Structure 1
Amino acid sequence: MTSSNEKNVMTRLPELDALRGLAAMSVVIFHSKNNLYPNASWWSWGYLCVDLFFIISGVVLTITYENRILTRETGFARFLRARFARMAPMHWAVLLATAGCYFYILDFSVHARAIFPWDATLYGFVLSALFLQGVGLIQHHTWNAIAWSISAEMIVNVLWFSLLRSGKSSTRVIAGIVAVSTVVLFEGWGKSHEYRIDTYYDVIYSFLSTGILRCIIGFCIGILIARHLINGSKIRDLGLLVANILSVSVIGAMTVLICYHDDPAFSAIDYVAIIFILPSLVISCLARRSLIHRILQLRVLMWLGTRSYSLYILHGLVILMTPFVLYWFGITRISSPWLGVIDIGAALVLSEITYRTIEMPFRSLFRGDLGKRSWMHSSQGSQKNHETARL
């Protein structure tokens, strides 16, 4: 059950939730861009928003749990239970839905193996169910390919807990981890792939998952932001002029990232983005007087933020199944951009449904407080609490 301290911390950072919602929508647009405008490169940078997720998670978990872990107020079992409560219900639901689509909705004997774009083995299913599909034990996508980042985050969360308990989690150590992980990723993957991060994970040096490295980099940057800029309100209370100079600078940097991502002259921009641009975006949104902070207070973005995890985890299956569903309804002649619009609209609608029927009720069940309040009270009363930076 979430403590009052945890809730108080969360309510101070609603803008991070809104930013997470924008990141989730950016990933959805990235994956459906061929259905919007085939062969267009205007959203080629969208996969970097996964790294933004990792940074935000590092910030939120640090301000929520770091002191409680260090003082042993929160043990490993309680921490792991909270993480499973946050990530497992929707992950498992979409995993089962993906399996159902493969074995029953698609014609297994004729079409499924040709159409289904990811590995569909029992081994991959078991790894996915255990959050282990993205750690390098399998070298290709399996079942719900989108969930590789969920696997990486779960593993990094466990490693972070262990590092805190070991007493070796100083700022110098965390910064060193960022530096080493970036160099390893750059040398092992970037040089042979035009210095791009890529849209998913791969295995380098025969055992290292690039997804784990990306998560380590982003999560540790989030730790540093939380420790040195949020604590003590150093960034929250920036003056109007400084806050908006920062906002304008970040908007300019994001514009360069969007417009010149595929330009050979900016070949290493992915690394610049995850080390400088995306962290600066997070910092800017936390400054109360900044333009970006004010934009993120819009109610539609708050709504999007609360549904961001459901939207992210299910959108891959939605994009895969949309043509089949349209075909069943007799709609056979639909092309871009309308197919992409339907993809996005369906993902948003389903994210609202699954948020209310799966994510919130089962999160409460995992935390052991479902019996203390009805589902209706949970979905209504939690609206205010969860339109914030969630775990």
Structure 2
Amino acid sequence: MKPSLSVFPERLYALDALRGLAALAVVFWHWQHFFFLGSVPGPLLREEQPLYSVFSLFYRHGGDAVSLFFSLSGFIFFWLFGQALARRELSGRQFFIDRFSRIYPLHLATFVAVALLQKVYAGYTGHGFVYPFNDLYHGLLNLFLAPAWGFEQGWSFNAPAWSISVEVLLYAAFFLLWRYTPAPLSGSALLALVAIWVFPAQYKISLGVFGFFCGGLAYVGVAWLLRRFSGRWVGAAMALACAAAWWLFAAFGADSPSIKFALLFPLTVAAIAACHRWLEPFARRLAWLGDISYASYLLHFPLQIVAALLADKFFPGRAVFYHPWSLLLFFSVLIVASLLCHLWFERPLQRWLRQRARHAATGLAAAR
């Protein structure tokens, strides 16, 4: 679908590249998984992790990229779908079918893969790999995309999918606000403020809510500026404001994560979008990382289980994961697998599900 407003081109390659880099940042953050003892963090020599001097930012803060995902999602949803839902140019059926076809097939496939791999891993070691709650109850929660709705007892199965679980709630809240309320922006601001106030209680949901809706409001702000002022000046001003905000945060607010998640990440997304003209020549070369970001995000944990099993069989201990070659090999396999998954699984199945839904809708209309 084309954007409902024309302040941006049809595709923002810079945001695609950012999404891809954020997904890989999470993989760096999860490199520590290889040194867990069951579900307990083991003795990790953090600065001995492979190529640490190059990727230390990702090793230390890669987990924050999940909050960046929420801000990106909010920005993109407000841009692409907000006005279309408000004007009823996009039906609720089409909106949710598009979302289901995008996120559920790969979630289900990786959930099943992790369930089987955890059985194999537990057979060799006597315990699960990192995430312990791999029982029937948590399996049902994962099956219904609800492992992060507050019903869970802990981390389970392909646990990185917790953010996908929260996204489902965000999609529903976003749809209701834009379709059925007279002031969706006010409602979005209220939800964000409530979530910031309760954070870190129910941190999975609250983090998602204020990340998503602050990201959406950042889109509204930058779009307002771009309609009134030169894009060149807006981009320069946003870049300077973003740099200044990060400097102030590093100097005075580094112990306040909610500032980073609710203000700095949305501001960063908005600044990158505003500077898209300058970033596009470089970002186009990295946009494919955004295309495979969902696959790399959901595939990296099952691939870690396979890597841990192979390391335990062929090497004496997990020290192999301190070697740079292990990192390069893992990322090479992950990126190739993600590309193949995107081209041969995600996109074909997404098209098929959407076509089936359209045919079903056409059939129902004809029957009436």
TM range (shorter): 0.7 to 0.9
How far is the alpha carbon of 1:234 from its aligned partner? 4.0
> Aligned match of 2:101 in 56, 71, 85?
85
Q: 1:107 to 1:12 in 2, by over 3 A?
A: closer
Q: 1:117 to 1:359 in 2, by over 3 A?
A: same
Residue of structure 1 in register with 2:212 after alignment: 219
Residue of structure 2 in register with 1:243 after alignment: 235
Decide whether the 8 Å contact of 2:20 with 2:291 is kept in 1: yes
Q: Which runs of 5+ in 2 are unaligned?
A: 36-43, 48-55, 360-368
Q: 1:364 to 1:62 in 2, by over 3 A?
A: same
How far is the alpha carbon of 1:248 from its aligned partner? 5.1
Residue of structure 2 in register with 1:200 after alignment: none
Q: 1:120 to 1:180 in 2, by over 3 A?
A: same
- Percent pairwise identity: 23
C-alpha distance in structure 2 between counterparts of 1:215 and 1:116, whole Å: 23
How far is the alpha carbon of 1:313 from its aligned partner? 1.4
Q: Which amino acid aligns with 1:167?
A: T
Residue of structure 2 in register with 1:201 after alignment: none
SS in 2 for 1:284: helix
User: After superposition, what is the alpha-carbon deviation per residue over 1:118-173, rounded to whole angstroms, capped at 9, x for unaligned?
Assistant: 31011111111111111101131111110000000011111221222331443233
TM-score of the superposed pair, with normalisation by structure 2: 0.80
Decide whether the 8 Å contact of 1:244 with 1:290 is kept in 2: no
Residue of structure 2 in register with 1:375 after alignment: none
* 1:127 pairs with 2:141: yes
**How do residues 303-322 of structure 1 correspond to structure 2 at under 5 angstroms?**
303-322=288-307
Residue of structure 1 in register with 2:20 after alignment: 21
User: After superposition, what is the alpha-carbon deviation per residue over 1:300-346, rounded to whole angstroms, capped at 9, x for unaligned?
Assistant: x2111111111111112222331213455x35572403333333333
> Aligned match of 2:121 in 106, 123, 127?
106
Decide whether the 8 Å contact of 2:118 with 2:128 is kept in 1: no
How far is the alpha carbon of 1:31 from its aligned partner? 1.2
C-alpha distance in structure 2 between counterparts of 1:33 and 1:246, whole Å: 35
Residue of structure 1 in register with 2:40 after alignment: none
How far is the alpha carbon of 1:244 from its aligned partner? 3.7
Q: 1:118 to 1:249 in 2, by over 3 A?
A: farther
Q: Which amino acid aligns with 1:78?
A: Q
Q: Which runs of 5+ in 1 are unaligned?
A: 190-203, 373-391
User: After superposition, what is the alpha-carbon deviation per residue over 1:170-211, rounded to whole angstroms, capped at 9, x for unaligned?
Assistant: 3233222212210111xxx3xxxxxxxxxxxxxx4xxxx321
C-alpha distance in structure 1 between counterparts of 2:100 and 2:268, whole Å: 28
C-alpha distance in structure 2 between counterparts of 1:230 and 1:48, whole Å: 26
Residue of structure 2 in register with 1:150 after alignment: 164
The two structures, once aligned, show a CA RMSD in angstroms of 3.3
Higher relative contact order (CA 8 A, sep 6+): 1
Q: Which amino acid aligns with 2:116?
A: G
How far is the alpha carbon of 1:226 from its aligned partner? 2.5
Residue of structure 2 in register with 1:192 after alignment: none
How far is the alpha carbon of 1:93 from its aligned partner? 1.0
C-alpha distance in structure 2 between counterparts of 1:126 and 1:347, whole Å: 27
Structure 1 or 2: more helix by fraction: 2
Residue of structure 1 in register with 2:308 after alignment: 323
Q: Which amino acid aligns with 1:106?
A: Y
C-alpha distance in structure 2 between counterparts of 1:353 and 1:216, whole Å: 32
Q: 1:227 to 1:141 in 2, by over 3 A?
A: same
C-alpha distance in structure 2 between counterparts of 1:283 and 1:4, whole Å: 19
Deviation larger for 29-38 or 341-350: 29-38
C-alpha distance in structure 2 between counterparts of 1:114 and 1:132, whole Å: 21
SS in 2 for 1:98: helix
SS in 2 for 1:297: helix
* 1:74 pairs with 2:90: yes
Q: 1:10 to 1:311 in 2, by over 3 A?
A: farther
Q: Which amino acid aligns with 1:322?
A: A
User: After superposition, what is the alpha-carbon deviation per residue over 1:28-54, rounded to whole angstroms, capped at 9, x for unaligned?
Assistant: 111115769832475322211111111
Q: Which amino acid aligns with 2:288?
A: W
Decide whether the 8 Å contact of 1:17 with 1:306 is kept in 2: yes
User: After superposition, what is the alpha-carbon deviation per residue over 1:215-264, rounded to whole angstroms, capped at 9, x for unaligned?
Assistant: 11011112212333226734994325x6345435535655787xx6xx99
Query: What is the aligned residue count?
Result: 338
Q: 1:47 to 1:237 in 2, by over 3 A?
A: farther
TM-score of the superposed pair, with normalisation by structure 1: 0.76
Residue of structure 2 in register with 1:193 after alignment: none
Residue of structure 2 in register with 1:278 after alignment: 265
C-alpha distance in structure 1 between counterparts of 2:150 and 2:66, whole Å: 18
SS in 2 for 1:353: helix
SS in 2 for 1:72: coil
Decide whether the 8 Å contact of 2:149 with 2:165 is kept in 1: yes
C-alpha distance in structure 2 between counterparts of 1:174 and 1:223, whole Å: 8
SS in 2 for 1:113: coil
C-alpha distance in structure 1 between counterparts of 2:109 and 2:229, whole Å: 38
C-alpha distance in structure 1 between counterparts of 2:111 and 2:126, whole Å: 16
**How do residues 50-61 of structure 1 correspond to structure 2 at under 5 angstroms?**
50-61=66-77
C-alpha distance in structure 2 between counterparts of 1:62 and 1:310, whole Å: 23
User: After superposition, what is the alpha-carbon deviation per residue over 1:98-134, rounded to whole angstroms, capped at 9, x for unaligned?
Assistant: 011122x3353x5252545331011111111111111
Q: 1:370 to 1:44 in 2, by over 3 A?
A: same
